[in-house]
Structure 1
Amino acid sequence: MSTSDPILETLNLTKAFKGFVAVNGVSLKVRRGSIHALIGPNGAGKTTIFNLLTKFLPPSSGAIYFNGVDITGERPAQTARRGIVRSFQISAVFPHMTVLENVRVALQRKRGDSFHFWKPESTLVQLNERAMQLLDEVGLAAFAESLTVELPYGRKRALELATTLAMDPELMLLDEPTQGMGHEDVHRVTEMIRKVAANRTILMVEHNMSVVSSIADVITVMQRGSILAEGPYAKVSADPQVIEAYMGTGVSTALQGAH
């Protein structure tokens, strides 16, 4: 498949909850090898789309295709095995394990023996080399023996990214990767995402416009469950509809001033 093929495509994806339409006829194409950002005010439907893509919610109608295969009716585990892996908003790591142990558990899960905690230490050593490579990729090699609970917030998010990478995703869904971070951590995590995206596809929900403007190849702007605008940052930030939709939220200024 060429990079021009969409790795992920939705056709008229819709999700209604008792009369409230959270996602309304969304047709999305995510290009292989790209960083694609979903932005929009709270309640725009971004997280619901993530829940539909990972099968935590069934769609009311519409279809989802991954690598050209219709995966609409699949269960969450089937979809994850295909290589669609989501990193959650809340840090999903074991606080009282070391950083290295957390990545090793994720590698075991990928191998299918995650619950064999009684296995002798010697059988796990073979996973250490790969775990250290992943920690190096997210700038955490020096923290390998640290207890996760002792890590500052931004480093915990980096560890979460490493555990997501351990699942060997073809498509990474990042849900608010820089939420709650200070400026220094935001910059570090942004650069990390840019680095790990080198041979992967990333679909991200992100509120921070400076992050989106600096790394996203394509931006889809959502409003009330529908796509309002789509394209590179320069195009969407100048779109009158986008500016109007964000008026009064403070984001219109951010859209204009992010670069």
Structure 2
Amino acid sequence: MSVATPLENGAPRVVLSARGLRRDFGGFTAVKDVDLDVHHARVHALIGPNGAGKTTVFNLLTKFLQPTHGTITLLGEDITNMAPDKVARMGLVRSFQISAVFPHLTVLDNVRVALQRPNGLAIQFWKPLSALDALNARADQLIRSVGLEKERNAVAADLSYGRKRVLEIATTLALDPKVLLLDEPMAGMGHEDVGMVAEIIREVARERAVLMVEHNLSVVATLCHHVTVLQRGEILAEGDYATVSEDPRVRTAYMGTEEA
């Protein structure tokens, strides 16, 4: 299935870029000479077999790790040596493989907590709890956008696994990201939840760039505009899904044989 590619002035706009990205751990090179361009309003998949270096690339882009060599730019600004919190404030926000919500808070309160920083309330501890009521309208908008309106007042711990991941997407959207990095958003989900989350990501990507690590190749095929395949820390192939899925090197990396 082909995926429509949104264009801006005839070409997609690069919002996150890496050149010559490398990370060494002692004598082991986890990522080597990776060039990556992530475009506005597109879903970009980073795939590869286990141990290919996908999570390391995520950690480098979000500055949880410092590259040994190479440069990273976000919205045209060099962020190679920038601290993770500053990068996040610039609009580069990631999720993790494990759901990161407050289990004993309601869906509404989880989203309101996430909204505090972009609305200047995160450090104003002296204000009464009622000050957060000003965030309700935006929180409800985010909750509706991910289809959680029926669970608005539910405690997060009572949600299904899939719904918790959806809530996590809502809390990351509360930070108004320009680039959203999703680390295996479909991991552990049933078929129904996978379809739901895929549609949410599709909608999210209408207004921002999405880079995702994902093992569900059916999702990658139908959702992603561009695919980068890693193997042993290096780029093995890239292009749309139809192109990379026909590459014999990719088939060998995934299946141990060039046979389909």
**TM range, normalised to the smaller chain?**
over 0.9
Identity %: 58
Instruction: Give the number of the structure whose residues are more often helix, by fraction.
Output: 1
1:119 paired to 2:135: no
- Provide the C-alpha distance between the structure 2 equivalents of 1:93 and 1:12, rounded to a whole number of angstroms: 35
1:11 paired to 2:22: no
Q: What aligned pairs does 1:98-247 form with structure 2 within 5 A after superposition? A: 98-116=106-124, 119-247=127-255
**Segment drifting more, 103-112 vs 58-67:** 103-112
Q: What aligned pairs does 1:39-54 form with structure 2 within 5 A after superposition? A: 39-54=47-62
1:30 paired to 2:10: no
**Segment drifting more, 217-226 vs 1-10:** 1-10
Secondary structure of the 1:41 match is coil
1:155-184 CA-partner distances (Å, limit 9, x unpaired): 000000000000000000000000001111
- Provide the C-alpha distance between the structure 2 equivalents of 1:117 and 1:65, rounded to a whole number of angstroms: 34
**1:60 aligned to 55, 58, 68, which one?**
68
Instruction: Tell me by how many angstroms 1:248 deviates.
Output: 3.8
1:21 paired to 2:22: no
Q: Which residue of 1 aligns with 2:4?
A: none
Instruction: Tell me by how many angstroms 1:115 deviates.
Output: 4.9
Secondary structure of the 1:50 match is helix
Q: Which residue of 2 aligns with 1:85?
A: 93
Instruction: Tell me by how many angstroms 1:68 deviates.
Output: 1.6
Unpaired stretches in structure 1, ≥5 consecutive residues:
none
**TM-score of the superposed pair, with normalisation by structure 1:** 0.93
Instruction: Tell me by how many angstroms 1:117 deviates.
Output: 5.5
In structure 2, relative to structure 1, the CA distance for the partners of 1:99 and 1:117 (3 Å cut) is farther
* Number of positions where the alignment pairs a residue of Structure 1 with one of Structure 2: 252
In structure 2, relative to structure 1, the CA distance for the partners of 1:56 and 1:31 (3 Å cut) is same
**Segment drifting more, 124-133 vs 105-114:** 105-114
Unpaired stretches in structure 2, ≥5 consecutive residues:
1-7
Alpha-carbon contact 2:101-2:110 (below 8 Å) kept? yes
* Paired AA for residue 54 in structure 1: T
Secondary structure of the 1:122 match is helix
- Provide the C-alpha distance between the structure 2 equivalents of 1:241 and 1:14, rounded to a whole number of angstroms: 22
Alpha-carbon contact 2:179-2:210 (below 8 Å) kept? yes
- Provide the C-alpha distance between the structure 2 equivalents of 1:115 and 1:178, rounded to a whole number of angstroms: 33
**TM-score of the superposed pair, with normalisation by structure 2:** 0.93
* Paired AA for residue 212 in structure 1: V
Instruction: Tell me by how many angstroms 1:221 deviates.
Output: 0.4
Q: Which residue of 1 aligns with 2:5?
A: none
CA RMSD for the aligned pairs? 1.7
